[in-house]
Amino acid sequence: MRISDLLDKNSVDRLPSLPDKAAVINHLVDLVARSGCLKDKEEFRRAVLAREAQDSTGFGEGIAIPHAKSDGVARPGLAALLVASGVDFAAFDGQKVQLFFMIASPQHASDEHIDVLARLSALLMDDACRTRLKQAQSSEELLRLIDEAETAQSVQDAQAQEQAAAQQSASAVQAAVGDDDGYDLVAVTACPAGLSHTYMAAEALEQKARELGIKIKVEADGAAGNRNRLLPEDIAHAKAVIVAADRAVEMDRFIGKPMVRVGVGEGVHHPAQLIERALSAKCPVYQAGGMLETSSVPMRLYRHLMSGLTYLLPVAATAGILSAAARLDVIKDSSTGLFLDTIGYSLGTLLFPILSAFIAFSIAGRTALVAGFTGGVMADMSGAGVVGALLNGFIGGGAAFVLTKLAVRFLKGHDAMFALLVYPLLGATVTTLFAQFVTSLPAAFVDNWLEDFLLTASRAELMIIGAVLAGMMAADMGGPCNKIAYATGVLLLADCLPENGPGSLVMAAVMAGGMVPPLAAALAAGLLGRHYFTKDERVQAPAAALKGLMFITEGVLPYLVAKRMRLACIVGSAVAGAVSMGSHCGLCAPHGGIFIVPLAENPWLYLLALAVGTLCGALCFVLLRRQLRHAQKKAKLKAAAATPAAPN
């Protein structure tokens, strides 16, 4: 299969300009859909946006490859877009991006199409190829240049394979006489989706190693599994290891080897520096518990917190729903109600240990789990609440990390025997001491202050808090504001479960903020302002409403044709959040949308809050769409007036 087989001619386009990143992604999703490879365009769009929220796919050098694996993809697809004037895509180098490729991959990708995507990633690493593609004057020329570049690359690959075969033969001869030193470096590349970043990083490392005369073997741990898998003898003979990965890879095989650990983006952009660091005499030796390097300490802490929340969410949802169901009038005095309440309460006691343990696990791996669990237990016992659990999770992870580093230094590589007993025991001891004498008192003070403030706040104060958090949910759709607001709701909810404490009020406002935007857009497009919306937008209104009811905020994305449309989302969400908190509505779970409203505190008032916020948001949508329509008509009239009349 060739790239041209995967890249339908209807999915290639060239435009003079596009306003922003959102417009590029929406246009690319539409291009992918033209090939007929999608069974649910909106589900794929959400997956792409979720991937972008993790990290920009703008590689620099004017190239971006947004991509995602999704159940909304029926078969592999590819789209290409050239925007002549460039678009600010939050690229790595801060420059505008002109050339975009969007990859649509099913959840279970075939090896054949992964090979094609890997070949595309390799092509885009070539400076001359990128330059030619950016200079294309039409979509037809762009498609032709891609095909020509792939043909040339195929010839080079064949020559490289012949050279590799010759080298393997020579290596076999050398091995027979005992003169084979193996690879200078081995490396692993991996990204969450396992598509473009994985193979571009591998290609960059291999190219730079060839230029420097260094022998390297790179394992691309992509969507189709490990390609070019490292063998034990490869690792044993290598002088050092480079791991460029944004997700978990098999690490225990590298214990005792000098290692550089970075994100996959570093492998794409700075291969020379990584090779230099790996071969440096100062390169640290990897032992269990090493941390992944990131660009900044705040980002590192943020990722560890998100790791803890990932494991906390399903337990919190289950504990909250079971406990809320047990309090329903129809079963609360029965044996069934008692059983559900017991299970919910028991799960609720695990929330702090789970949060702390998996924050610690994110920092230092398995050696930190016991320390993390201990920190959560200490937070529960001392009344330090979720604040104490957070602090103790970071302390437990840090303690385990330091202990493993000390063991590496003083035990001379014999620290593996300590992993089962000594690391957990020392980690738990250190965490207990810190929790008892350092964190418990201030954490309990802050946690109690937050609870008291929410319990005693006036209606106006509660409405302001609800408006701010709910508005943040709609501000950037998966960006920092959205994640901070959601994390706040989840953590405060976990602080009060399995009861309906003040944290449930915050969670209700946050969920309302996420439900309202698609509901408001659906109401505006389907009823209040139909003539201001396109036919496709009117047709999508029922689906958007359903997604809103299910707390899928991304259902509003097809209606955000201009940045000003976000204002309608923010206004509607803020109103809903304010009414929800002002009415003392509480939710028992961090997800579920309309399905958990029957278990809510003051459910009818919560539905009223959703309705009021939806109506306000819909009216704002209509007003902003009307202004946008008038501005477009005015621009067309101005352009027509400026065009000289054709001579008779």
SS3 87: strand
Task: Lowest mean pLDDT of 392-401, 447-456, 511-520, 559-568, name the range.
Answer: 559-568
**Mean pLDDT for the stretch of residues 143-170:** 67
The pLDDT of residue 195:
54
The whole-angstrom separation of Cα 244 and Cα 267 is 6
Give which of 553, 176, 359, 363 is closest to 374, Cα–Cα.
Answer: 359
pLDDT at 88 over 60: yes
DSSP string, 619-640: HHHHHHHHHHHHHHHHHHHHHH
Beta strands (DSSP E) in 131-212 are 185-190
Regarding predicted confidence, which is higher, 108 or 180? 108
Q: How confident is the model at residue 172 (pLDDT cuts 50, 70, 90)?
A: very low
Scored b (16 or more CB within 10 A) or e, 34-62 reads: bbebbebbbbbbbbbbebbbebbbbbbbb
Domain 180-279 has CATH 3.20.20.80: no
Q: Is the dihedral of CA 425, 430, 433, 435 positive or negative?
A: negative
Phi, psi of 108 (to 5 degrees): -115, 90
The pLDDT of residue 54:
67
The whole-angstrom separation of Cα 93 and Cα 127 is 16
The whole-angstrom separation of Cα 451 and Cα 132 is 61
CB 372 within 8 Å of CB 358: yes
CB atoms within 10 A of CB 422: 15
Give which of 323, 305, 436, 308 is closest to 381, Cα–Cα.
Answer: 436
DSSP string, 562-618: STTHHHHHHHHHHHHHHHHHHTT-B-SSSS-GGGGGGGSBSHHHHHHHHHHHHHHHH
Q: How confident is the model at residue 446 (pLDDT cuts 50, 70, 90)?
A: very high
Scored b (16 or more CB within 10 A) or e, 535-552 reads: eebbebbebbbbbbbebb
Give which of 32, 86, 31 is closest to 58, Cα–Cα.
Answer: 86
Highest mean pLDDT (candidates 3-7, 294-298, 345-349, 494-498): 345-349
Phi-psi region of 383 (alpha: psi -120 to 50; beta: other; left: phi over 0): left
To the nearest whole number, what is the mean pLDDT of the chain?
Answer: 82
The whole-angstrom separation of Cα 623 and Cα 384 is 48
The whole-angstrom separation of Cα 437 and Cα 110 is 55
pLDDT at 292 over 60: no
- The rounded radius of gyration (Å) of the Cα atoms in the chain is 28
Regarding predicted confidence, which is higher, 177 or 53? 53
Regarding predicted confidence, which is higher, 308 or 28? 28
The whole-angstrom separation of Cα 315 and Cα 491 is 12
pLDDT at 176 over 70: no
Percent of the chain with pLDDT over 70: 83
Tokens 């972008």 correspond to: 52
The whole-angstrom separation of Cα 314 and Cα 623 is 40
**Mean pLDDT for the stretch of residues 132-156:** 80
From 37, 191, 585, 616, the catalytic residue: 191
The pLDDT of residue 569:
93
Structure tokens at 191: 């990204």
The pLDDT of residue 224:
54
Tokens 């794929």 correspond to: 44
Q: Nearest 10 degrees: CA dihedral of 221, 298, 495, 576?
A: -90
Q: Burial, 448: exposed, middle or buried (Cβ in 10 Å; 0-12, 13-18, 19+)? A: middle
Structure tokens at 157: 């690959």
pLDDT at 487 over 70: yes
Amino acid letter at 580?
Answer: S
The whole-angstrom separation of Cα 477 and Cα 26 is 14
The pLDDT of residue 223:
56
Give which of 473, 480, 483 is closest to 566, Cα–Cα.
Answer: 473
Q: Are strands 77-87 and 67-69 parallel, antiparallel or unpaired?
A: unpaired
Give which of 130, 90, 119, 91 is closest to 195, Cα–Cα.
Answer: 119
CB 571 within 8 Å of CB 556: no
Residues 6+ apart with CB under 8 A from 254: 235, 241, 243, 286
Highest mean pLDDT (candidates 123-132, 238-247, 527-536, 608-617): 608-617
The whole-angstrom separation of Cα 506 and Cα 474 is 15
269 in active site: no
pLDDT at 253 over 50: yes
pLDDT at 14 over 80: yes
Give which of 173, 266, 167, 178 is closest to 217, Cα–Cα.
Answer: 167
531 in active site: no
The whole-angstrom separation of Cα 219 and Cα 203 is 11
Domain boundaries, the chain: 3-109+123-149, 180-279, 297-454, 459-635
The pLDDT of residue 177:
42
Q: For 499-558, what is each residue's pLDDT tens digit?
A: 778 889 999 999 999 999 999 999 999 898 888 888 888 888 998 899 899 888 878 878
The pLDDT of residue 619:
94
CB atoms within 10 A of CB 613: 30
The pLDDT of residue 207:
83
Q: How confident is the model at residue 294 (pLDDT cuts 50, 70, 90)?
A: very low
Q: For 184-200, what is each residue's pLDDT tens digit?
A: 899 988 765 555 677 77
Give me the architecture of the 3-109+123-149 domain, per CATH. Answer: 3-Layer(aba) Sandwich (3.40)
Regarding predicted confidence, which is higher, 123 or 336? 336
**Mean pLDDT for the stretch of residues 274-295:** 72
CB atoms within 10 A of CB 442: 13
Write out the H or E segment, with its range, that includes residue 244. Answer: strand 240-245
From 27, 37, 67, 304, the catalytic residue: 67
Q: For 203-218, what is each residue's pLDDT tens digit?
A: 888 888 888 888 899 8
Amino acid letter at 138?
Answer: S
CB 13 within 8 Å of CB 82: yes
pLDDT at 178 over 50: no
The pLDDT of residue 412:
56
* Distance of alpha carbon 113 from the chain centroid: 23
